[in-house]
Structure 1
Amino acid sequence: MPSDQLSESSPGFTLQTAELDNKTFYCVNPEEVPIVYSQVQQYFSYNLALEPGSVVWDVGANVGLFAFWVQQTYPGVQIYSFEPVPILFQALQQNLPNIDSTNIQCFPFGLGREAKIVSFAYHPHATAMSTGYPYTPEERLELQTTIGQNLPPDQLEAFKPVLDRFFEYQLIECQIKTASEIIESEQIPKIDLLKIDVEKAELDVLLGFTPEDLAKVQRLVIEVHDIDHRLQTIQELLTQNQFQNIEIEQEPGLAGSNIYNLHAWR
């Protein structure tokens, strides 16, 4: 067993709660909730052009913080949330009272280029890092170095043990389907906003759309891990599919890393 792989008896499959905006949210790791919530709000620095009735796809929903913030900011939108990790999907469902549950559908699987079962590295101390593409030792070192370089020196020493725990993981089986399967089964005529945050599987998600179905997407916000020129590949794919406007940014805390935020619209 790799040194970072946790045994099946390790903690990480029990829900806890965290307080946020005077509401109680179910989660695995309470310390992670304000961090993820802060990241979620960065999406809304963009003009997302949503209105009541707009359709939003939340791919990589985690425990539902993006869905919560979307409905707080744009009441009346229709949300489709996708989360393949069972314990996170359970938390998402239990957080529905904090969201307008009449306007959200939750799906217990992820999206990819083909329907299959994937062995996920589930990170209980940093659930947002859970991925179907487990971190290599080189990727771990690169991310640790980047975070360390962007932290004030007085915080770095205290944060290092926490950062080490982020990479502890358990392997679990998760279901993946394609976006076009869901568009057909749910009879979805349009997607006004497609949000993708899936830890190195973002290109897979896009390739799960047929060209006809990708044409139904009006706007995207994607976290892109620029591996094997993926950022360029995604830009070219979107340009070929008539996305005329593409913006790329990088969070200050990830400066120097291969992780970017991409915003595209027609």
Structure 2
Amino acid sequence: MGLHLIEMEEGFSCYASGEFEARFIYQEIFKDNNYDQPGLPEAPFTIDVGANIGLFSLYMKQKYPAARIIAFEPAPENYQALRQNLELHQVGDVTVYPYAVGSEAREATFTYYPAMPGNSTLHPEEKALQKRLMGERLGEEAATDLFQATTITVKVDRLSRFLAEQHPGVTSIDLLKIDVEGAELEVLRGIDDADWAKVQNVLLEVNNADGALAQVEALLREKGLTVASEPVPLMWEELELYYVTAHR
């Protein structure tokens, strides 16, 4: 399929492999402001876990030009698109790592969907319901095309390892954004207590099909954060997708 330049609207283009999904995510972030977090400082230190093609990072730099961002994206094609989009929009102060983030350092099998790269995952079993619903609503042929997959081996490491070795001077994590298609708890469990004390705001998307929402909420409250959850708008109710926000 390959990367190609897509014009989202006049004045904003980006590189992506899957146009259908890229337009959906652009609407979600830039138009519907679903990722907007009030009360951030003028130069927020932001961590973007599951950065995909970089639309959230671009949104943060557009809204907060002085923001410092570290972004993680393990899929090589997404990583390339992310780097090209940062260059296209002449964005600086974004450090990108070609890693997945988890609870321990390891290598893992990663399922990549070129037509829907934002759905790529360490947990492909969680996509069975979504594929079935797409088949019912969009047709089996369309669902099969969208979920054509390849598997790759990716590096996984703990977020606290990157903070300790690459960003030791960080004293406040103003926003931690996580969108990792089923690996949310693994990301959260890879953060040391000393780093949790720095975290001021968390925004993540979680699939509750296996009861993960309650576990995520409990962990965040255990770390001293006030937590709220709401269904992701414009998504099929059966998918049980939720936005979780947490504030210190």
Q: TM-score, normalised by structure 1?
A: 0.84
1:165 equivalent in structure 2: 145
Greater relative contact order: 1 or 2 (C-alpha under 8 angstroms, separation 6 or more)? 1
Q: Aligned pairs, how many?
A: 244
2:23 aligned partner, one-letter code:
P
| Structure 1 unpaired stretches of 5+ | 1-11, 150-155
Structure 2 CA distance, aligned partners of 1:208 and 1:43? 28
Provide closer, same or farther for how the CA distance between residues 104 and 199 of structure 1 changes in structure 2, counting only shifts above 3 A.
same
Instruction: State whether structure 2 residue 24 is matched by structure 1 residue 35.
Output: yes
Contact 1:51 / 1:76 at 8 angstroms: preserved in 2?
Answer: no
| Structure 2 unpaired stretches of 5+ | none
How far off is 1:119 after superposition? 0.7
SS of the residue 1:61 aligns to: coil
The superposition leaves residues 128-160 of structure 1 with CA deviations (integer Å, 9 ceiling, x where unpaired) of 110011136xx52x22455578xxxxxx45x65
Residues 204-243 of structure 1 correspond to what in structure 2 (within 5 A)? Answer: 204-243=186-225
Moved more, 112-121 or 93-102: 93-102
How far off is 1:48 after superposition? 3.2
How far off is 1:261 after superposition? 1.1
2:164 equivalent in structure 1: 184
Percent identity for Structure 1 against Structure 2: 29
Q: Cα RMSD (Å) of the superposition? A: 2.1
1:20 equivalent in structure 2: 8
1:30 aligned partner, one-letter code:
E
Which of 230, 233, 241 lines up with 1:251 in the alignment?
A: 233
The superposition leaves residues 105-138 of structure 1 with CA deviations (integer Å, 9 ceiling, x where unpaired) of 11111211111111101001111110011136xx
SS of the residue 1:79 aligns to: strand
Contact 1:202 / 1:224 at 8 angstroms: preserved in 2?
Answer: yes
Moved more, 62-71 or 49-58: 49-58
Structure 2 CA distance, aligned partners of 1:179 and 1:43? 26
Provide closer, same or farther for how the CA distance between residues 204 and 45 of structure 1 changes in structure 2, counting only shifts above 3 A.
closer
SS of the residue 1:101 aligns to: coil
Q: TM-score, normalised by structure 2?
A: 0.89
Instruction: State whether structure 2 residue 125 is matched by structure 1 residue 143.
Output: no
Structure 1 CA distance, aligned partners of 2:134 and 2:39? 33
Structure 2 CA distance, aligned partners of 1:252 and 1:168? 23
2:245 equivalent in structure 1: 263
Structure 1 CA distance, aligned partners of 2:33 and 2:214? 21
SS of the residue 2:78 aligns to: helix
Structure 1 CA distance, aligned partners of 2:193 and 2:56? 27
